[in-house]
Structure 1
Amino acid sequence: MQFKNPEILYFLALLIIPIIVHLFQLQRFVKVPFTNVAFLQKLAQQTRKSSRIKKWLILGTRMLLFTAIIFAFSQPYFSKKTANKKQHNFIYLDNSLSTNTKGERGNLLQIAAQEIIENSSEKDVYSLQTNSSFYDRITKSELKNILLQVKETSKNLDLPTVLLKFDSKTESKTNTTNRTILISDFQNTYKNEFTNVTPLISAINLESSIKNNISIDSVFVTDYNGNNFTLNVLVKNQGEAKNNIPVAVYNNNKLISKLSSSFKKDTLETIQFKVQNQAEFNGKIVINFSDTFAFDNVFYFTLKNDQKINILSIGNKANFLSKIYTKNEFNLTQSTVQNTNYNSILKQQLIILNEVENISEILSKKIIEFSKNGGSLVIIPHKNLNINSYNSLFKNLSLGKIQPKKTDSLKITNINYKHPLFQNVFSKKVTNFQYPIVQHYYPFSSNNKSTIVAFENGSSFISQIKNGENNTFWISSSLDVKNSNFINSPLIVPVFYNFGKMSFKHPKLFYRIASENTIDIDTNIEKDKVLKIANSKNSFIPLQKKFQNKVSITTKEQPLKSGIYSILQNTDTIQKIAYNYAKEESLLNFLDLNKLKETNQNITISNSVADVFKKINKKNEVHWLWKWFLSLAIVSLLLEILILKFYKP
């Protein structure tokens, strides 16, 4: 038994007063003279004894009366928690795309929200975290209004972030009891997130009734020519084999091609479509099949044929450049220093200074202007360069300093596989590589240098120097065949190809929602104007940087819905881009909560939202006893009245 107001019990000490009064009270008897009292002696003794019993009975009933009243005011109760403590329930409701599927009783997300509403207590305080919002210290009515409007979202939260948020909002006051409730399907990303859990957590697993899923993983284009291209669609099948699944390709809303395909158990297979080449293709791929997730049965992509990267090579003519920078992807121009059109420099995305012996002042000024406006620069030194003219350019670009030439036969042995230039180039580290050799090179010192490829002595062969908007690649040796055989190495193609691709980030076939994406738009906008991204339902202004000949936009938090969006300059569409949901949301990989329970004793596992809330409410239920003590006081009072009225000693 517990007491809400235990300090009232101190008044029990006052019960000693009536006891003392009773024990020490002296009752005086009046003497009445009689001639003969011998016959009254026995009656007098009996009356005095009966009177003493009556007084003890009255004392007992009054003691019971006051005791019951004191206990009633102290408000005794039975409960597993202290009555004056508030119950604060922290609830995480996972409303990611994967929870918007069917369970045994209906849509997982909707049923979970409804059961929270039906089983939450009016007396408790709630904090609700969804993947998109956090609501702190709300009542049940406020919680109900929020849950009635909750929708699935492409945003995702990891559990450490959720638990950290709850921990920061947990009150350290002694009159508050906190409870954490995690409601989720605990999909793949939650692995090993509960190590050394200390707070009490109720984990409620939302489980789909369907155990198979087919999804469009990605797309890519091959065999691209003037008339046709091959669209490769990667389809991921999870679960049992599936036969005759219809797959359709649309351009906008026009059906382009359709076929039926079969998929083996747990495989990733490629479906190919021959598509007629068009100037602009706003594609949509649709799989008509009912499975666990519906959102991944539609995939969007865009394709524009006139997007090419402008590259200008100044200096010696190099045949290997024309082989790498093909006409279907690049506009390559090669010119000598004397024949260079300086007015065209600012229209380029990449400039290659290919073994220029002396960098003139006018060329240096144009290169500086080009670089500071966001252009990319590749510098291949002449074997007998004018080191002062090079260092003058480097100084103005804050790149570093070139050291005098060193004559030393060195192998190119080290590759920085983690550098963005080699992203998706190597499937694994190369060990049987035929190392290129250089006869002499120019060492380079810089505080902002990152090495891409290095010599066997550790010094840089190819470096990237990024300083503000400047993006410069320095190759420390001439690529003349008499000095180096690097142009015959397999590295030459990915290195120079990605120099071009990194110089201007044309829109890809598609982008992923909730990932950071950078897109360069070949346009000029006024100083107080911005580009906007929109479709028929949503619009937003992305983060963007303006340069002289382009605008670089970055998206991450937006958009939240998949589809094809337009990049707008005022009201004019200058580019179409496609967004799709993260493919991790389609995986049927879930955390085994039973194994988790074995290593974390503070976690309770359940499959029912209603059961968890009922247990919490029952545990927090208070059984008040003050009414019984008040009833006992009334009974004591009635007993005293009955004794006084009917007990005649």
Structure 2
Amino acid sequence: MQFKHPEFLYFLSLLIIPILVHLFQLRKFKKVPFTNVAFLEKLVINNRKSSQIKKWLLLCCRLLLIGGIVIAFAQPFFSNQSKETIQHTFIYLDNSLSTSANGSSGNMLKTASQELIEHGTETGDYSLLTNTNFFRNISFEELKNNLKKVKNTSKQLSTKDVLLKIASLKNTTENVIVSDFQNITPDAFEGTATNLSLVQLIPEKRNNLSVDSVYINQNEANSLVVNAIIKNQGNPKENIAVALYNENKLLSKQTFSIQENEEKTIPFSIEKSSPFKGLLEINFNDTYPFDNTFYFSLNADERINVLAIGDSNEFLSRIYQKDEFNFNSYSLQNTNYNLIDQQQLIILNEIDKIPQSLVTSISNFTANGGHLIIIPSENSDSNSYNVFLKNVVKTGSINPKKNDSLKITTINYNHPLFKNVFDKKVNNFQYPYITTFYATHFSNASKVIGLENNQNFVSQLNLSTSKVYWFSSPINKTQSNFTNSPLIVPVFYNIGQESLQLSKLYYRLQQTNTIEVNAQLSKDDILSINNNENSFIPLQQTYQNKVQLTTNELPENRGFYTVYKKDTPLQTIAYNTKKSESKLQFPNLQNAFSSDQNITVSNSVKETVKKITQKNKVHWLWKWFLGLAIVSLLLEILILKYFKV
């Protein structure tokens, strides 16, 4: 037995009062001589014994009365927790999109919240963690109010983050994690020394149809093919309707059948128009409703500005065609320096000597985020190029020319320039060759393409705000056959594409997305992203001829958003949920932790909360002692009234 207020037990010393009273009342009788009372001797003895019994009973009643009152004020109780321990329950409620599915009792998130409200205890305090908020040391009333406001979100905390939050509190007596544990392996809980109660929410349905992704093919000059990739998890499905909208306008509708665990591509032919706010919608009732719609956007044609400075640029004009690039080519003597700041990519193609005026302009260009390709000439002035490298690249140098026939034998397949270029590594490749070579010395260069002497043919140098690509040899037809190689198109084309990251068809929520907008801002200008409901200012970096936006935690909801410069719309972007939210992958926690002493697993929030409440329930005894005191008082009254001596 424990006491909430043990200091009251000092008042038990008051028990001495009835004891002293009793001792005074039990003093010996004074003998008074009296004649002819021998016949009363027996009666006197009986009365004396009855009086003593009455006084002993009164003493017991008074002791119980005082003791009961004192102990009642000390508030005794039985509990598994000590009196100094305040019951602190930590609850993590997973409100990710996957918990919007229906369980056996309806919406899993709403059901879990309601059961926590109905079966929680008002004693102690709580800490509530969701994927969007953390409420620390709150009362049960505050917990109920916060649970009523919990809604599904695209944000998702990792198991590591949840366990770190529990460890940071240090004073929790119970830790409850309520989740469907989607895509989580039991290994995530290995090594934890904390007592955990895991409540796994189980969706009622185990079939899900989702729009996985979208890509575009250009069919003709004025038409496009929108390819929707549909993913099926579970049983085969037939006669499923899928519709394509341009914002609110229905453009096309098809039906399809799909086999068990199959991916299928559904093509839609549309007229080429911009801007285009595409919405794909599947009419099917399955586990997750949120992945039955998919947003994508097509903006007005944006072209990347490419400037080539040199004399032999015909092959470049065939790569940088006008439907995707604004390509301009000038000789060194005819170059308009005013155009340099407007470019995203500049190619210095086989210039013999780089003048100081061009060095200065290119240095400013790269400092403002412009990308650069450098191709030396057969007669390159090494000193001139070294001065250029020192001012622009800030590192590296080249050696004088060497005449040596070398094959191009190494391709860095993992380099971003070759992403999705090769289906597999090629071993019987017809290697291009070069006849002139400039050995280079760069401390921070990464190899894109290599030569048979282990030197770099194409190197990438990452500056603070831009990228520089160095070719170690001229590539004109007299010095190399590289321009006839299949490699030339992906190298130059992808470098051009990387120079300005045009808006994609769609982006994923809660992932780091980089969007480059072809816009020029003044000193105090900023870009914002908003839709009809929300507006936010993303992380942004302004360059001379573009603005780089980075989004991560925002936005929170899928749909269409517009990039604004003040009140002027620049482009439309679309966001969709992460693919992982659609996966029907749930671990069997019951088997995984059946022998774990620290972790208990349940599928019922109600039963888990009841067990915790019963385990930590405080059994108060003060009412019993108060009742004892009242009974003692009543007994004393009865004894005084009816016990006649």
What's the TM-score once normalised by structure 2's chain length?
A: 0.89
Q: In structure 2, what residue type is equivalent to 1:117? A: I
SS at match of 2:173: strand
Q: How many Å separate the matches in 1 of 2:153 and 2:398?
A: 55
- Whether the 8 Å CA contact 2:386–2:398 is kept in 1: the answer is no
Residue in 2 that maps onto 1:572: 568
State whether residues 362 and 392 of structure 2, in contact with CA within 8 Å, keep that contact through their aligned partners in structure 1: no
Aligned length: 644
Match of 1:614 in 2: 610
Does the 8 Å CA contact 2:211/2:291 hold for their aligned counterparts?
A: yes
Aligned-pair CA distance for 1:393: 1.6
1:291 aligns with 2:283: no
Is 1:345 the counterpart of 2:369 in the alignment?
no
Q: How does 1:17-28 map to 2 (within 5 A)?
A: 27-28=27-28
State the secondary structure of the residue aligned to 2:627: helix
Residue identity opposite 1:178 in structure 2: T
Per the alignment, residue 88 of structure 1 pairs with: 88
Q: Deviations over 1:239-261 (max 9, x none)?
A: 11111111122223222222111
Q: Structure 2 counterpart of 1:620, which letter?
A: N
1:116 — aligned with what?
Answer: 116
Q: Which moved more, 1:327-336 or 1:111-120?
A: 327-336
Other-structure match for 2:502 = 506
Separation in 2 of the partners of 1:533 and 1:435? 48
Asked whether 1:390 is paired with 2:385, we answer yes
* Residue 232 (1) aligns with residue 232 (2): no
The residue identity in structure 1 corresponding to 2:588 is: D
Q: Structure 1 431/206 Cα, relative in aligned 2: closer, same or farther at 3 Å? A: farther
Inter-partner Cα distance in structure 2 for 1:37 and 1:4: 61
Partner of 1:329: 324
Alpha-carbon spacing, 1:37–1:186, altered in 2? closer, same or farther (3 Å): same
Match among 193, 198, 220 for residue 215 of structure 2: 220
Which residue of the partner structure matches residue 153 of structure 1? 153
Residue 120 of structure 2 aligns to which amino acid in structure 1? Answer: S
Q: Which position in structure 1 is the counterpart of 2:173?
A: 178
Query: Could you say which residue in structure 2 is the equivalent of 1:102?
Result: 102
Match of 1:402 among 397, 408, 413: 397
Cα distance, 1:313 vs. partner? 2.2
Q: In the alignment, what sits opposite 1:360? A: 355
1:174 alignment counterpart: none
Unaligned runs of 5+ in 1: 172-176
- One-letter code aligned to 1:331: N
Say which of 247, 267, 270 aligns to 1:275. Answer: 270
Q: Which moved more, 1:14-23 or 1:418-427?
A: 14-23
In structure 1, the partner of 2:165 is 165
Moved more, 421-430 or 571-580: 421-430
Cα distance in structure 1, aligned partners of 2:557 and 2:43: 103
- Mark the CA change 1:436 to 1:405 in structure 2 (over 3 Å): closer, same or farther: farther
Q: Which residue of 2 aligns with 1:125?
A: 125
Structure 2 counterparts to residues 228-627 of structure 1, below 5 A: 228-304=223-299, 306-318=301-313, 320-405=315-400, 407=402, 415-425=411-421, 441-454=437-450, 459-480=455-476, 486-487=482-483, 490-598=486-594, 600-627=596-623
What secondary structure sits across from 1:496 in the alignment? helix
CA distance in 2, matches of 1:289, 1:604: 37
Give the corresponding residue for 2:195.
200
Amino acid corresponding to residue 312 of structure 2 in structure 1:
K
Query: Do the aligned partners of residues 590 and 456 (structure 1) sit closer, same or farther apart at CA in structure 2, a change above 3 Å counting?
Result: farther
Contact 1:240 1:264 in 2 (8 A): yes
Aligned to 1:527, what secondary structure does the other structure show? coil
SS at match of 2:203: coil
How far apart are 1:266 and its partner, in Å?
Answer: 0.6
Counterpart residue identity of residue 525, structure 2 = K
* Inter-CA distance 431–161: structure 2 relative to 1 (3 Å threshold): farther
Query: How far 1:511 sits from its partner (Å)?
Result: 1.1
**Alpha-carbon distance in 1 for matches of 2:644, 2:101:** 81
One-letter amino acid of the structure 2 residue matched with residue 499 of structure 1? I
Which one is further off, 222-231 or 431-440? 431-440
Displacement of 1:375 after TM fit? 0.7
Structure 1 residues 406 and 22: alpha-carbon distance in aligned structure 2, compared to 1, 3 A threshold = farther
RMSD: 3.2
Which secondary structure state, in structure 2, belongs to the residue aligned with residue 612 of structure 1? Answer: helix
TM-score where L is the length of structure 1: 0.89
CA distance change for structure 1 residues 384 and 629 in 2, over 3 Å: closer, same or farther? same
Identity of aligned residues (%): 51
Secondary structure of the 2:225 match is strand
Structure 1 contact 154–581 (Cα < 8 Å) conserved:
yes
Decide which moves more: 613-622 or 244-253: 613-622
Give the partner amino acid of 2:561.
Y
Deviations 1:546-565 (A, max 9, x none): 22222222222222222222
Opposite residue 586 of structure 2, the aligned amino acid is: F
Partners of 1:307 and 1:294 lie apart in 2 by 34
